[in-house]
Structure 1
Amino acid sequence: MSPAPALRVGVRVPPCDRADRLVETVRRAERLGFDDVWFPDSQLLWRDVFTTLTAAALGTERIGLGTAVTNLATRHPAVVASAARSVAELAPGRFTLGLGVGNSSVGPVGLRQTTSAAMRDGLGMLRALLDGQEWDFEGKVRSRLRDPRPDVPLHLAASGPKNLRLAGEVADGVILLSGVSPRTLEGATARVREGAEAAGRNADELPLTVSAFCAVTDDIEAEARRIKPICASIARNGGAPFLALAGIDVDVPAVVEDVYPDLVHAEDWDAAVDLCSAWISDEAATRFAQEFCLFGTPEQITERLDALHAFGVTGVFLQHVGSYDPPTELIEAVGTSVLPRLT
């Protein structure tokens, strides 16, 4: 039996600056040995994700590129298919189309997140168009994508049971939004496996990518205070039971005002931290950082990454705290002190 492929380590880079400037960040990640760079999509918060991907594709040679994630609510699936094909042509074998329910794309413009049923239909349309097949658009016209790109993998980001099962059933890979806690990972991967088995697929062949906030530090308590808004957002959006599994009991109001545009992407991060301190204690934030995130020394982070790989995770993408600056410090810290230990 051949050994399992090495764990792919990526980093999330928000399109928070001009595309030509962000390319330098991506190039640095490539030089330091990162496997992937993932770009989120939110039309009012950042520059256009496919414009940024185009610049990154033209400015790099090896590193994988992906959306983490775009959506099928603000973008019609046919538009997404064309954009994905266009990027894949510039970076053959390097592009992954990550899709999700919308979150910060739909909220600021008053739209609803994509339902599981709509996601299933949208994924079917995307796959057909990228494969060069005709699609029946609402029974009115049949059309196809010229110059299709069947090699674009479709990865579905999921945290709830319905979309986790859907990912296992129809997606080419899964982006797990449950952090690195073994307790929540076990539950999430079980739902993915259920979906795969129901569709007659082998769940062990599905790539599993885990997103995790990361900080290389020898003072977890000090760094953990910065992620109180992340913890509060998870609790407010139905994740309180997952937090409770790790001994984190918090009570966050259903509506949190005075934070624009939302807790995870707050423009005034310090104010969001202070606000969330009313519900998230320093002790709870530290436990959240230790259980769900990759906070610690290079040795500790390396051990956690090795454990994720042993669990069956095939990739991670690391996030820094902040939406409107590139993760320069995180890339340097992980690239110089963690990645060499993994290799």
Structure 2
Amino acid sequence: MTASTERVSVGVRVPPCDRADRITATVRRAERLGFDAAWFPDSQLLWRDVFTTLTAAALGTERIGLGTAVTNLATRHPAVVASAARSVAELAPGRFTLGLGVGNSSVGPVGLRQSTTGEMRAGLALLRSLLDGEEHEFAGPAGTVRSRLRDPQPGVPLHLAASGPRNLRLAGEAADGAILLSGVSPRTLSGATARVREGERAAGRAVGTVPVTVSAYCEVTDDVEAAARRIKPICASIAQNGGAPFLALAGIHVDVPDTVEGVYPDLVHAEDWDAAVKVASAWVDDVTALRFAEEFCLFGTADDIARRLRALHADGVGGVFLQHVGSYDPPTELIEAVGASVLPAL
């Protein structure tokens, strides 16, 4: 998914929260309204299978870019991911991006740990070699075997989602793109991008050649204060999962315990969002929520959001994918609002 040189590429995150044919209808609507990409998260207990949904979307669309944001190499073996990626890429030539991450909501609910930076480095190398058609030596209890992926699909872009410094540098060293989870705050975004560029230098790559895509919660609204109160669980989740230093750079100081009771499965994917807002209010007050919305998110009028998207493009960000609040309904309202008023302004 290559960003336009004239403006930032604008995508939307679409959770596979319904039947694949219904999700495909949502993606078709985004395509008609001018979105550049649709990104699908992967969590086997929360949503439908991401590659099944991507297959339906690939067959049901013509132009829009499609990607995982993100799948993982913990609940899915790299060889399985390579086969799935090949299968989608051949249905949507030049439109598919394989976004990878450490696991997050996929690993937690089944008692697994997130992938380490070393495991991600090895996984990226293995995926690339399999997709390129090269043989790989797999080690198992019965010994080692050499195998390859039949009908490979060279050239599938591998993007790494990262928030910590080690994985940000790894994205610059070894991935085809970086997906930044730092939000759109200029202070945190510049720091995250700098780590990606450090990785490029370490690998001998030309600085600035690894494209950067930023994820951002978004709402077109005239009442940012009211909308901000709804994203308290997101702010609390970032603090809980190692993002407190990023928040502190923007003057947001939140201390959330490692374990939070009363929310399933976690704060950012809560099935009962109103309950999650109430729980998160113990650590995130209204003033903090508003600051978080203004610094990290794209909340405001269509003109406000368009202006900030232009500024991101001027700062070297190639793409943004917008997220709505909620995990178990499609981002229909966000797609309509941005498609009607923000994209035309760009």
Deviation at residue 5 of structure 1 after TM alignment? 4.7
| Counterpart pick for 1:319 among 304, 316, 323 | 323
Q: 1:25 maps to what in 2? A: 26
Q: Which amino acid aligns with 1:253?
A: P
**Does 1:155 pair with 2:156?**
no
Q: 1:43 maps to what in 2? A: 44
Q: Which amino acid aligns with 2:290?
A: T
| Counterpart pick for 2:184 among 180, 183, 189 | 180
Deviation at residue 222 of structure 1 after TM alignment? 0.2
Q: 1:80 maps to what in 2? A: 81
Q: State the Cα deviation string for residues 148-181 of structure 1 (Å, max 9, x = none).
A: 0112000000000000010000000000000000
Aligned length: 340
Alpha-carbon separation, structure 1, partners of 2:258 and 2:153: 43
Alpha-carbon separation, structure 2, partners of 1:229 and 1:255: 13
**Does 1:125 pair with 2:126?**
yes
Q: RMSD between aligned alpha carbons? A: 0.9
Alpha-carbon separation, structure 2, partners of 1:116 and 1:19: 32
Structure 1 window deviating more from structure 2 (182-191 vs 320-329): it is 182-191
Q: Which amino acid aligns with 1:78?
A: A
Deviation at residue 251 of structure 1 after TM alignment? 2.1
Deviation at residue 99 of structure 1 after TM alignment? 0.2
Q: 2:225 maps to what in 1? A: 221
Alpha-carbon separation, structure 2, partners of 1:178 and 1:309: 16
Segments of 5+ residues of structure 2 without an aligned counterpart are none
Matches for 1:244-255 after TM superposition, within 5 Å: 244-255=248-259
Question: Does the aligned pair in 2 maintain the 1:259–1:272 contact within 8 Å?
Answer: yes
Question: Does the aligned pair in 2 maintain the 1:192–1:203 contact within 8 Å?
Answer: no
Alpha-carbon separation, structure 2, partners of 1:254 and 1:49: 28
Deviation at residue 202 of structure 1 after TM alignment? 1.5
Alpha-carbon separation, structure 2, partners of 1:105 and 1:228: 22
**Does 1:100 pair with 2:104?**
no
Q: 1:135 maps to what in 2? A: 136
Q: 1:200 maps to what in 2? A: 204
Q: State the Cα deviation string for residues 16-62 of structure 1 (Å, max 9, x = none).
A: 00001111100000000000000000000000000000000000000
Structure 2 residue matching 1:223: 3-state secondary structure: helix
Normalised by the size of structure 2, how large is the TM-score?
A: 0.97
Alpha-carbon separation, structure 1, partners of 2:246 and 2:95: 33
Q: Which amino acid aligns with 2:102?
A: V
Q: State the Cα deviation string for residues 195-252 of structure 1 (Å, max 9, x = none).
A: 1100000231111000000000010000000000000011111211211111112222
Q: Which amino acid aligns with 1:26?
A: V
Alpha-carbon separation, structure 1, partners of 2:77 and 2:188: 32
Deviation at residue 4 of structure 1 after TM alignment? 3.4
Q: 1:236 maps to what in 2? A: 240
Alpha-carbon separation, structure 2, partners of 1:241 and 1:192: 18
Q: Which amino acid aligns with 1:163?
A: N
Structure 2 residue matching 1:252: 3-state secondary structure: coil
Alpha-carbon separation, structure 2, partners of 1:284 and 1:109: 33
Segments of 5+ residues of structure 1 without an aligned counterpart are none
Normalised by the size of structure 1, how large is the TM-score?
A: 0.98
